[in-house]
Amino acid sequence: MKLFLLFLCLSFATVSVAASLVEGRIYLKNGSVVECTGDNRLRLPKKSGKLKIFRDAFRKTKTKEVLSAGDIDSVICWHAKTPEFARKLVWASDPGWMWVYVETPRITACIYSKKGYYIDTNGGMLVLQRRRWFSSSRTAYFLRKHGESEFQDVGSAYRRSKDVFRERIARYIDDDPELAERIRRSNAYRDKTILMLRDYDPTKY
């Protein structure tokens, strides 16, 4: 799946509600699926908030449904104009709602943004970042191997990649020593370093 990672640096701007209303499919932990297509929309969640669904979203008859984050396994969503670029969100008690950036049968890498997300008309997922003179809102990468129950925070998604970040990733996947060493020797930016995890395969050894 083609990946788009756009960091939007905002000082005082806000994103309109319409920009965060998308089509999608919600997979619940009880096995049922909630469809949000046609005249229905879901609002992209942020932090650990509940997921809101709007039926007849653009009519006076609009109604709202609210789903608890803990009841949801995953959300597949897309902009109505570009349904071919579907994005996936998952929720964890720590840190909250995350965008799945890399997913293989062996490992999952997510991006958490405190300020939230929205999908552009071209299908790209925008990770919102508010920056001020002395601080910025949190964006971070989280990793989880197959069989693990918790995600591990491996560092900021916005800073330039340094040896300490690559070393942290390499130690996490030290059961694939070949890839771990390749990551240590790499000079890639953080997003490219994370994409290297698509090659993670400890079953080779």
pLDDT tens string 118-147 = 898 889 888 876 554 333 457 899 999 999
- 7-11, 14-18, 48-52, 77-81 — which one is most confidently predicted on average? 77-81
Model confidence at 49, pLDDT cuts 50, 70, 90, reads confident
Q: Which residues contact 4 (CB under 8 A, 6 or more apart)?
A: 85, 120, 122, 123, 124, 125
**How far, in Å, are 43, 149, 163 from residue 184 at the CA level?**
39, 26, 7
- pTM value is 0.85
Model confidence at 47, pLDDT cuts 50, 70, 90, reads confident
Q: Are 129 and 139 in contact (CB under 8 A)?
A: yes
> What is residue 16's predicted lDDT score, i.e. its pLDDT?
42
Sign of CA dihedral 89, 93, 94, 96: positive
Q: Which residues contact 163 (CB under 8 A, 6 or more apart)?
A: 184
Tokens of 180: 């771990």
Tokens of 134: 């002395």
- Omega into 202 within 30° of 0, i.e. cis? no
Question: What is the phi/psi pair of residue 24, to 5°?
Answer: 180, 180
pLDDT tens string 12-35 = 333 444 368 999 999 999 999 999
Sign of CA dihedral 154, 158, 164, 170: positive
